[in-house]
């Protein structure tokens, strides 16, 4: 009786291949996102930051040793601790809701009812499929419904959501929906233009392409308002 082939015993040119590995690789290369919310376990914050750093340090030390690196070398011996601290305190600090910036709103006393645009907000994130950097700029706009937000808070909101394993589509949606909630208005727009090092430094190794995503809510779904916003992004505002 012929053995039934499973995901783990398919053979190609005589070599045994695991199709589950193939599917995982394809998901990463095809830039698949599974949820607007960052996938988190229910026990994500049982451990303290210090406990997480200690655990990651041990695991990253094992990874380096498996790769054959000599951790007795002066240049390498502190790397596991540095990486662990970087993960928790810096590049993935946006995973912890306790690090979300406090956003204060102010009365729009000067009755500015036109579009406000904050462009060229630089951010660094990391691709959740390969844990390599995403480097880009975010352009935000909103129309006040009676409240305004401090300009620096727009930058901080972008940075908060960027500092977690991401895909660009989710990052765009998370910033857009949160900004709508904070401002109490649907009239919010975002364009993000970013370079993905998972594309530039591995796989297809294309270091010239970039990815653009957009979010349009409320009045920004109207062509006139959307085009006005996009026109502002073309202005040369470098100083």
CATH assignment of the domain containing 58: 1.10.286.10
166 is a catalytic site residue: no
Q: What are the tens digits of pLDDT across the range 11-22?
A: 555 555 555 565
pLDDT band of residue 109 (cuts 50, 70, 90) is confident
127 is a catalytic site residue: yes
Given a contact cutoff of 8 angstroms between Cβ atoms, the answer to whether 182 and 141 are in contact is no
**For residue 85, is it within any domain?**
yes
Name the 3-class secondary structure at 85: helix
pLDDT of residue 2: 46
Same domain, 202 and 122: yes
- Average pLDDT of span 134-157: 95
Same domain, 108 and 203: yes
pLDDT of residue 1: 45
Same domain, 132 and 189: yes
**Least confident range of 28-32, 49-53, 131-135, 226-230:** 28-32
54 is a catalytic site residue: no
**Least confident range of 19-23, 25-29, 81-85, 113-117:** 19-23
**For residue 35, is it within any domain?**
no
Same domain, 191 and 162: yes
Same domain, 212 and 130: yes
128 is a catalytic site residue: yes
Task: From the candidates 57, 127, 166, 174, give the one annotated as an active-site residue.
Answer: 127
- Average pLDDT of span 133-149: 95
- Average pLDDT of span 39-52: 96
Same domain, 22 and 138: no
139 is a catalytic site residue: no
Per-position b or e across 105-131, b if 16+ CB within 10 A of its CB: eeeeeeeeeebebbeebebebbbbbbe
**For residue 215, is it within any domain?**
yes
Task: From the candidates 139, 159, 174, 196, give the one annotated as an active-site residue.
Answer: 196
**For residue 216, is it within any domain?**
yes
Task: From the candidates 57, 139, 166, 168, give the one annotated as an active-site residue.
Answer: 168
pLDDT over 90 at 159, yes or no? yes
pLDDT over 70 at 195, yes or no? yes
pLDDT band of residue 231 (cuts 50, 70, 90) is very high
Domain count, the chain: 3
Query: How many angstroms separate the CA atoms of 104 and 153, rounded?
Result: 8
- Average pLDDT of span 162-169: 97
CATH of the domain at 221: 3.30.1130.10
Task: From the candidates 57, 129, 159, 166, give the one annotated as an active-site residue.
Answer: 129
Same domain, 199 and 156: yes
Same domain, 109 and 153: yes
Domain that holds residue 21: 1-30
**For residue 37, is it within any domain?**
no
Residues of the chain with pLDDT > 70, as a percent, come to 85
pLDDT over 50 at 202, yes or no? yes
**For residue 156, is it within any domain?**
yes
Same domain, 222 and 117: yes
CA-to-CA separations, 35 to 38, 44, 63, 164, 234, in angstroms, rounded: 7, 17, 29, 14, 32
pLDDT of residue 29: 61
What the block records as the tokens of 210 is 């970039």
Task: From the candidates 57, 128, 166, 174, give the one annotated as an active-site residue.
Answer: 128
- Average pLDDT of span 178-207: 90
Same domain, 79 and 121: no
Task: From the candidates 130, 169, 186, 228, give the one annotated as an active-site residue.
Answer: 130
pLDDT over 90 at 143, yes or no? yes
**For residue 238, is it within any domain?**
no
Same domain, 117 and 190: yes
Same domain, 204 and 109: yes
**For residue 84, is it within any domain?**
yes
- Average pLDDT of span 108-136: 93
- Average pLDDT of span 116-132: 96
Please, what is the angle between helix 168-183 and helix 151-162, to 10°? 140
């Amino acid at each position: 009786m012929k053995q039934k082939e499973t995901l783990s015993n398919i053979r190609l040119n005589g070599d045994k291949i695991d199709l589950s590995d193939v599917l995982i690789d394809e998901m990463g290369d095809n830039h698949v996102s599974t949820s607007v919310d960052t996938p988190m376990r229910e026990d994500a914050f049982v451990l303290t930051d210090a406990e997480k750093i200690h655990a990651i340090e041990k695991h990253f030390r094992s990874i380096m040793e498996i790769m054959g690196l000599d951790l007795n070398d002066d240049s390498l011996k502190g790397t596991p601790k540095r990486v662990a601290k970087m993960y928790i305190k810096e590049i993935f600090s946006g995973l912890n809701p306790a690090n979300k910036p406090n956003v204060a709103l102010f009365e729009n006393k000067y009755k500015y009812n036109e579009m406000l645009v904050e462009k060229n907000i630089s951010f660094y994130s990391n691709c959740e499929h390969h844990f390599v950097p995403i480097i880009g700029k975010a352009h935000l706009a909103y129309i006040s419904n009676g409240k305004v937000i401090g300009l620096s808070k727009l930058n901080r909101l972008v940075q908060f959501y960027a500092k977690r394993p991401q895909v660009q589509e989710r990052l765009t949606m998370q910033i857009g929906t949160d900004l709508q909630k904070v401002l109490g208005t649907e009239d919010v727009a975002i364009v993000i233009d970013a370079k993905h090092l998972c594309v530039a430094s591995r796989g297809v190794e294309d270091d010239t392409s970039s990815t653009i995503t957009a979010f349009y809510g409320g009045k920004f779904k109207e062509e006139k308002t959307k085009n006005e916003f996009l026109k502002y992004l073309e202005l040369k505002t470098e100083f």
